[in-house]
Structure 1
Amino acid sequence: MADLLETAANAESFTTLLSAVEAAGLLDILKSPGPFTIFAPTDEAFAKIPSDTITSWMEDIPKLKKILTYHVLFGDVRTDNLVELDSAETVEGGIVGIDKIDGGFKVNDAKVLQTDILADNGVIHVIDSILMPALV
């Protein structure tokens, strides 16, 4: 099985996310033993954000790292675990809310489009929008 980085790259719907992860110097997290759980915004999720906003994030590495690590949980959190959670602490240190909706899940305001994409060092859940930590 591939690691989180290879799994995300192979999916071909996370090119903007992977570019941001690379710009922030966070590729090592996706290749580390983990395990980690990633709420991965699609390219379409990034397209909802004005391009000048994304450009400003890419130029402000501490802010970019804060935003990206807010999408990551320590541990291997799969659908069975999400059912039991109302919230979870992120690698960034903030808390995301987890709500059950229509047979699926929302993380904060982002709808989970696909769950449990497994990798050697964790799991990816695909989301439809960017999660924003407090004080960004």
Structure 2
Amino acid sequence: MPMPAASPCPCGRPATYAGCCGALHAAHAGRQALMAPTPEALMRSRYSAFVLDLRPYLLATWHASRRPGELDPPEPGLKWLGLDVKRSTMHDADHGTVEFVARSRLGGRAHRLHEVSRFVRENGAWFYVDGDLS
């Protein structure tokens, strides 16, 4: 079921889904050129895409050099609980990193994903390259 546009954005920013990550998701679905303006904005939109199981968006925003052929559906019962961006750093005009913690629950157990993700900009578009887990 799609997320209502007026719902709070899953990424944790104080905005509606439509006014935040939903705009990027909708642009991609409509094959429009709206792109994330920063690595952090892309990372937040990717987190929201995981929450909403938008696998085509996740694949499209993954750098071609590291993009998997497909993504498995989420495990039944997986619930994303929140995102905490620890820091976002620009290394130059076309390279950045974002450190974050994403929390989830599966089968009654809490999980925590702590990653420093690398992003690259090509032809004006930011892409997720890879990340180091902490």
TM-score for the superposition, normalised by structure 2: 0.35
Structure with greater strand share of residues: 2
Q: Which has the higher contact order (CA 8 A, sep 6+)?
A: 1
